[in-house]
Amino acid sequence: MRGFYTIREIVGSSYYRSRPLAAFRLLYSKWEFARTRTYNPKAMFELAGLDPSVCFQGFDKWEQSLERVVSEVGRYRGQGCINMAEGQFLFGITRALRPEFVVETGVAAGVSSCFFIAALIENGNGTLFSIDLPSNGNAQLSCADATRYDWPERGVAWGIPIEMRMRIGERHRLILEDVRTALPQLLQNLPYVDAFFHDDLHLPEHMLWEYQLVWPRLREGGVLASHDVNMGWIQFCREHRLQRTGLVNLNRLCAVRKNGADSRSNE
């Protein structure tokens, strides 16, 4: 089944169809991540030097609400939905790092945003910046990486429950612009980034550009994470000598922590 989806990803992508070497590298990256896959967020926390008990603090209060979000959004095709284990990881790093500034690229229905928001509410501090293209009322959005999204008609972040929106308030800032201009501008206006999550256009060059742009602005002890990793992530990890921990993944969600543990991570 995974092989079928990989073939469809290559055939359906204007990028991979015209680049045989890139298609081969995609196949290699999927093999590499299949070898290093885990199904337990706890293993990811431990590799990052984070205490799982701290990461899961308060999650029980939100578990049913977050399960409803995942289930509701998952009822519709093409929503760009992460699963519960991946969401637990995003919640956990936010609880453990107690960030001031969290940035995510790629919002779609807003499932990943919900896990960040829940953790930030528990923390009582910190702001989430979410960047995505405006939907403009389109019924569907097709991308060069072969993904096709059906969320635009409902609007960006439609899946975030109203009670979450009300409780987080202005601490969630939705930026509806092209990430290629919005992300550099945002980074210029922030003193640093505590946690970054990529989940927008899944082309290796674009993803590597995001990682390299954010990494210098990531504080020591901060976390850089990415969904749907490919050769862009592998190249980034090779350049920064992060392969040992950086290739371990939850269904191709990877993360690395900058320069080891931070004194605030286990407060």
User: What pLDDT is stored for residue 125 in this prediction?
Assistant: 98
How many domains are contained in the chain?
A: 1
Taking Cα atoms as reference points, which of 173, 196, 199 lies closest to residue 83? 199
Q: What CA–CA distance (Å, rounded) separates 41 from 38?
A: 8
- Confirm whether 92 is domain-assigned: yes
pLDDT band at 260 (very low <50, low <70, confident <90, very high): low
**Percent of the chain topping pLDDT 90:** 73
- Confirm whether 35 is domain-assigned: yes
Q: Which whole number is the average pLDDT over 28-36?
A: 95
Cβ–Cβ under 8 Å, residues 201 and 178: no
Cβ–Cβ under 8 Å, residues 106 and 114: no
User: What pLDDT is stored for residue 60 in this prediction?
Assistant: 98
- Confirm whether 105 is domain-assigned: yes
User: What pLDDT is stored for residue 138 in this prediction?
Assistant: 52
Lowest mean pLDDT among 12-26, 100-114, 190-204: 12-26
Lowest mean pLDDT among 137-151, 220-234, 247-261: 137-151
- Confirm whether 12 is domain-assigned: yes
Q: What is the CATH number of the domain that holds 155?
A: 3.40.50.150
- Would the pLDDT of 139 be above 90? no
- Confirm whether 17 is domain-assigned: yes
> Tokens 């919900």 identify what position?
114
Query: What are the structure tokens assigned to 154, written together?
Result: 């409902």
- Confirm whether 267 is domain-assigned: no
User: What pLDDT is stored for residue 136 in this prediction?
Assistant: 61
- Confirm whether 57 is domain-assigned: yes
Q: Which whole number is the average pLDDT over 111-131?
A: 98
Burial environment of residue 75 by CB neighbours within 10 A (0 to 12, 13 to 18, 19 or more): exposed
Pairwise pLDDT comparison (109 vs 13), residue with the higher score: 109
Domain extent at residue 212: 2-257
Lowest mean pLDDT among 6-15, 147-156, 191-200: 147-156
User: What pLDDT is stored for residue 154 in this prediction?
Assistant: 73
- Confirm whether 262 is domain-assigned: no
Query: What are the structure tokens assigned to 43, written together?
Result: 């293993």
Query: What are the structure tokens assigned to 68, written together?
Result: 């409803």
- Would the pLDDT of 150 be above 70? no
User: What pLDDT is stored for residue 197 in this prediction?
Assistant: 98
